[in-house]
Amino acid sequence: MVQAGGLRMHIAEAGQGPLVLLLHGFPESWYSWRHQLVALADAGFHAVAPDQRGYGKTGGPEDVAEYSMLHLTGDVIALMDALGARKAVLAGHDWGAPVAWNTALFRPDRISGVIGLSVPYLPRGSAAPVAALRAGYGDGFYMVHFQQPGVADAELASDLPATFRRLLYSLSGDYQGAAAIPVIPAGRGILDVSADPPELPAWLSQRDIDFFVAEFARTGFTGPLNWYRNLDRNWELMAAWQHAPVTVPAQFIAGDKDMVISFLGGAPMIAGLRDIVPKLAEPVLLPGCGHWTQQERPAEVTAAMLEFITGLGGRAATGAGG
C-alpha cells in the first residue's frame, strides 16, 4: 500500500531500476499485468501495477465527480512521487490507455515514453461525447448504458463468474463470432450481448477468473463504472487541450481482432496516429489477438514493450535513480 496524494493505493511491484508503470483497464486490476511484471523485472526495470482509483484494494471515493481524467492522471503523478521517481514510462491498456496518454499530454516533463494498448490516443474533440454516442448508436450503446446509476453495477455483479467468463471470452481473439461494439437491446443487460465460452481459452485459467471474481465480490463495479460516468465531465475539463498532440515518444500495440480497432476505423486509423502522436514508433498489430492484449499475447506484448523502452535510451531515458 502506498500513499499517493490523497489516495491510499494498492500496488503490485517487481524488480529494481527505472520505473515502468502499468495501468489496467475495465473491468480488471493490477492482475492483468501479471506476466509483464515479472518479465520487466527480469529485464532490469522496476515494474509497478497499481489497482487504479475505484478498483481492488485501492478503492476510492463515493463522489462520481472524483473519477475524472484529472483525478486519474493526478493519481499517476502522485504515485510516481510516492515511489521517488522523477520520470517513468507508462503503459496503459483499455481505460488505462487514456490515463497513460493524457498523463503524457499533461506532464511531458515527467513521462519518458508512453505505450498504449488497445486504445489509441484520442484527443479531445469538438462535441460532448455522450450525446454524440447516443445519436450514433442509441441508448443501448454500452458507454451510454453505463451512465445510468446502479443499473450496470447490478447487472455485472449478479453472477460474477459468468460476468468474467463472458466478457473476457467475448472480447478476445478466441471468440468465434464477429467482433462488435456492444449495443444492448431495451430491457436487457450487458451480459445478454456476450457469450459464455464452451471452454476457457488457453490464455485464461479458472484461477484467473477466480481472482477477478474475488476482487469484484469485495468492491463491486460502481467505482470502475464511474470512469464512464465522467465522459462529459472530462470533455468539459479538458477544453484547453482540444486537438492537442502527445509529444513524448510513444508506442501503440493492439490485436487485429480487437473490437476497439474496428470501431475506431481499423488500419487507416492506425496509419493516421502519427498526425497526433508525432514521436510514435511503428505500431504493433498482433494477428488473431482480441481486446485483452497483454493477457492474450504476453510474450509478444512484453517483447514489443521492451524493444520500445530500451530504444528510449535505457536507464538514462527512464530516469533511473528517481
Sequence-separated (6 or more) residues with CB below 8 Å from residue 240: none
* pTM greater than the 0.85 cutoff: yes
Query: pLDDT at position 303, please?
Result: 98
From 3.40.50.1820, 3.30.450.20, 3.90.79.10, 3.40.50.9100, which CATH number describes the 2-311 domain?
A: 3.40.50.1820
Contact 301, 253 (CB under 8 A): yes
Active-site residue numbers? 94, 291
Instruction: Give the CA-trace dihedral at 266, 179, 292, 231, to 10 degrees.
Output: 70
For residue 66, give the C-alpha cell.
Answer: 472524483
More confident residue, 266 or 32: 32
pLDDT one-digit tens code per residue, 37-54: 999 999 999 999 999 999
Query: pLDDT at position 314, please?
Result: 47
pLDDT band at 318 (very low <50, low <70, confident <90, very high): very low
For residue 171, give the C-alpha cell.
Answer: 472480447
